């Protein structure tokens, strides 16, 4: 069985070149081939038959030629394939995830407004792709100080104990093993509670909520620590905003891992959730969005 590739999406921008370098390293760590993809976008009135098809482009592609020149002669370069497609990138790119183990995007490409924190291509793929999607931010994002920031390589993963994404935990542990990094599991619980969340006569003990959150989190994490005994794990049960804790922990982290919501009957479209979207927009480190296994097309 052939190994699925790591896909790097490029458009010639500095953001996509950072994504290319991250994808190149990821392919090396996985022993996987690298597939470099450029989607040439045409105006709505031009070449409509190709616009929707996403078929391979036969003409020379300057962006891919630039990437070939950049990678030429690199030591330990994995087997690399270059693919040019025509179409609308947000429509074409997510579908490529069905034939990849990972897709990597820059936080913003050549299109869109300069004020946007996340481009439409990465956003669409993070929401729709069948494989995990990594978005590499621009350097220099500032985040709040946090006690979760520790020296050394770290993979941070968010865990919602009420609806855990086991695939996100598995991805985080596997990535930490490849990087000889520790895993920081961040399980946030709501605090302070809002009036109406519980009967007025009930006494709510924060320590009890934190203890229960930690106990549940320990249970979800245990199978992954058993599979990766070499990976050091730090588990944090923290009060308040999950996105805020994950963004703060992203400072100097190798990666932050978050899950994508499962489809529901009342919301059949694929969704990322507010925490995932906030982390994508504001984290200082690369962010991996991992779909759940049960999120079937």
Query: The domain spanning residue 188 has which CATH number?
Result: 3.40.50.12370
Q: Could you tell me the residue range of the domain that residue 274 belongs to?
A: 154-290
The reply to whether 87 and 10 lie within a common domain is yes
Q: For residue 28, is it within any domain?
A: yes
The reply to whether 99 and 203 lie within a common domain is no
The predicted structure's pLDDT at residue 49? 45
The reply to whether 163 and 126 lie within a common domain is no
- 269: pLDDT strictly greater than 80: no
Residue that is last in its domain, among 90, 106, 136: 136
Question: How many structural domains are present in the chain?
Answer: 2
* Residue environment code for 192-228, b if the CB has 16+ CB neighbours within 10 A, otherwise e: eeeeeeeeeeeeeeeeebbeebbebbbebbeebbeeb
The predicted structure's pLDDT at residue 113? 39
Tell me the per-residue pLDDT of 35-59, one tens digit each, with 9 for 90 and over.
999 998 765 444 444 434 444 445 6
Q: Which two tokens stand for residue 206?
A: 């924060």
| CATH number, residue 28 | 3.40.50.620
The reply to whether 165 and 282 lie within a common domain is yes
The predicted structure's pLDDT at residue 73? 86
The reply to whether 87 and 180 lie within a common domain is no
Tell me the per-residue pLDDT of 164-179, one tens digit each, with 9 for 90 and over.
899 999 999 999 999 9
Q: For residue 16, is it within any domain?
A: yes
Q: For residue 1, is it within any domain?
A: no
Tell me the per-residue pLDDT of 11-40, one tens digit each, with 9 for 90 and over.
999 999 999 999 999 999 999 999 999 998
């Amino acid at each position: 069985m052939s190994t699925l590739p790591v896909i790097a999406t490029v458009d010639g921008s500095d953001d996509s070149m950072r994504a290319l370098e991250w994808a190149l390293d990821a392919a090396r760590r996985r022993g996987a081939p690298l597939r470099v993809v450029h989607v040439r976008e045409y105006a709505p009135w031009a070449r409509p038959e190709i616009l929707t098809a996403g078929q391979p482009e036969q003409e020379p592609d300057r962006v891919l030629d630039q990437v070939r020149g950049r990678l030429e002669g690199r030591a330990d370069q994995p087997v690399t394939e270059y693919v040019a497609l025509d179409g609308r990138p947000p429509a074409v790119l997510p579908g490529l995830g069905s034939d990849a183990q990972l897709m990597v995007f820059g936080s913003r490409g050549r299109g869109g407004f300069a004020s946007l924190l996340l481009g439409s291509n990465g956003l669409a793929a993070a929401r729709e792709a069948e494989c995990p999607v990594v978005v590499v931010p621009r350097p220099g994002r500032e985040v709040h100080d946090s006690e979760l920031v520790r020296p050394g390589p770290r993979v941070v993963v968010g865990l919602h104990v009420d609806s855990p994404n086991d695939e996100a935990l598995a991805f985080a542990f596997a990535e930490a093993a490849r990087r000889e990094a520790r895993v920081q599991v961040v399980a946030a619980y709501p605090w302070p509670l809002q009036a109406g969340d519980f009967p007025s006569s009930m006494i709510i003990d924060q320590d009890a909520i934190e203890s229960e959150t930690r106990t549940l989190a320990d249970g979800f994490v245990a199978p992954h620590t058993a599979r990766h005994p070499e990976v050091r794990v730090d588990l944090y049960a923290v009060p308040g905003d999950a996105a805020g804790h994950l963004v703060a922990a992203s400072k100097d982290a190798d990666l932050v891992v978050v899950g994508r919501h499962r489809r529901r009957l009342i919301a059949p479209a694929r969704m990322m959730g507010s925490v995932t979207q906030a982390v994508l927009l504001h984290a200082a480190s690369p962010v991996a969005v991992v779909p759940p296994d049960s999120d079937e097309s």
